[in-house]
Chain A
Amino acid sequence: MTVTDAITLVMTARHPTEVFGTDQATRRYHQLARLLHPDTAGAAAPDRRATAAFLQLTELWRRHLADGRDTVTIDTGRYRYVVDRTARYTGDLADLYRHGDDRLVKVPRDPANNDLIAREATALARLAERGDARYLPYVPRVVDEFRHRDTGTGAVRQVTVLGTAAGLRSLAEVRRAYPDGVDARDAAWMWRRLLVALGFAHRAGLVHGAVLPDHVLIEPDQHGVVLVDWCYASIDATPVPALVPAYADWYPDEIRRRRSPGPGTDLAMAARCLDWLTGGRAPEPMRRFTAGCQLAALRQRPDDAWRLLAEFDDLLERLYGRRRFRPFTIPDPNHR
C-alpha cells in the first residue's frame, strides 16, 4: 500500500471497521500509522494531506477502541483491565498484553506453566519486601496478580499485572542493531547496572537463574537497566525449575544438573552476556575479566555482585580513565 492509498482509505472511511477490518485490527492500525506518521510520510506527501490523514486515523482508532472491538476486558472484581486483543510482547512462555501506557498483563500461553508465572510474582514480592528499595527500578513491579478461569475451556491461568516503563529494549535487540558488536565502553554501563540488579537480588536471597539477552532490558537515554522474567528464579537456593532451550549452552552446569545455584550462577551468565554483546571486540583485560566469572565450578566463580562491581570499576578506570557519560542510541533496523 502506498501513502496515497492509505490517505484515500482513511479520509473516505465512515466507520473504523472500513479501515481496520474485523481481524488483526491492531496490526492494520500500526501499518497505517507507520505509513502516515508525519516523520515518515512527510517527504512523500508534502501537502500535509498525510498529516491530516494521520489525525483522522488516530480518531478512527480511538472510536474503534471505544467500540471495544479490539480489546478484551478482564474484570477481577477489584479492577477492570482493558487489554489489547493482540499481544504486545511474546516471551518464552507468556504473552504480555498492554493495558494503558504503563501496565502489562502477563498471561502464560500454556496453563501448565502457571507455576512459573507464580514463581515470578513470588520472587518480585520478595524483592519488594526484603530488597533495598533504592534499587527497585531495576526489576519489574507487580501491580496485581490473580487466577483466571476461562469460561469456555475451563483452563485456569495464573496472571500477573506488571508496571512498565517506556522505551525499554532488550540486549538481544541491541545486538541485532549492532551486528559487529557493541563498543565495550557502552557495554560497560549496561554491565555495571546489571551487576547492581544482581547484587540487589542476591542480597534478598534470590538467584535470577536466566540472565540472558532477552531478559536484560536497557533504557538507552538514561542508561537504565531492568532485569525481567523472574519465572526461573531460585528462591533460597532451590534449583532453577526450567531453562530456555535456545540458550541451553549458556547455562552453567549447576542449573542443568538441578543443583542449588548461587550468585555465581547469575554472574557467569551476565559475563557471557557481556562477551556476546561486544562480539569479541572488548579489550583483552575485559575479556580476561569475564572469563574469570565463567569458570566451570560454581565455587570458583565470584559470589558477590557488589564486590565484583568494584573490581570492574577498577578495571574500567585502568582501561578508560575517569568515567564519562557516553550517549547511546540504537539504530532502528527499519530505517537503514
Chain B
Amino acid sequence: MGERGAVAEGLRAYRLIAGMWMRSTLTYRASFALAVCGGVLVTGLDFVSILLMFSRVDVLGGYSLAEVAFLYGLSATSFGIADLAIGSAGRLGTRVRDGTLDTLLVRPAPVLAQVAADRFALRRVARITQGALVLGWALVASDIVWTPVKVLMVPGMLVCGGMIFAAVFVVGAAFQFVAQDASEVQNAFTYGGQTLLQYPPTVFGKELVRGVTFMLPLAFVNWVPAAYVLGRPYPLGGVPGWAAFAPPLVAVVCCAAAGLAWRTGLRSYRSTGS
C-alpha cells in the first residue's frame, strides 16, 4: 500500500469515526445547542477582556480595536478549525497511561486518524462561530484598503492557520508518548499560541516575536500576512515582503514535520502492559 493509499484510508476512518460521534451528539439536540451557546460565551471571554482593555485606551501596541479584532478573529477561527478537526488528539496521554491506546493499535486503521476522531466534539464549532463573528465585525469596522489579493488572503489565512495549529496539536500529541501526563505543556503552545496571536506583534518583546516567526512559525497564522493586509510593516527586520504570501508553504512544512514527529513518537511507544 502506497503513501497515498494510507492517507485515503486514514481520511475514510476519520470520517467514519467522527460521523459516529456526530450522530451520537445530535441525538440530544437541545443539550447540544446549549453546549454550543455556552461554548460561544466561554470562548468569547477573551475577546471581552480585549474590549475591556479598549474601554480604557484607544490603541494597544499602536493597533486600533478593529485591527486587533482582525488579528483575534483570524487566530480564534483558525485555531477553532484545528481544535475541531484534531483537538481530541490532546487526550492521547490519558490513553497511553491507562493502556487503551493498545486497542487502537490493533485496529486496521491509521492510529492518528483514530486518535483525532476519537470523541469528535462537534460542540467545538462554538469557537469557530465566535471567532468568525469577531472576524466579520472586524472586516466591516476596519478601514482596510481592499484589493483582490487581500480578499483572497483572508480565507487562505484561515485554512493555512488551521493547518499550522493542527501541526502543533499533532506534535503535542506525539510529545505525550514521551511525557504521559504533561498534556498541559501542549496547552501552552496551542491555547497559549492562540492567545499570543490575538494581540499585535508590536506588543511583545523582539525575542518572543523572533521565536514565533522563525522557530515555531505561529506568526504565519496571522501576524505576518495580516501586517500586509493592514498595510503595516512587520515589527522585525529581515522579514521580506513576500513572506506575507508564505503561509501555504509554512503550513505544508509544519504538517510534514508534525507527521515525522508523530511517527517517531508512535514508534517509541511501549505499552504499559496493563
The answer on A and B forming one complex is no
Interface residues of A (CB under 8 A from B): none
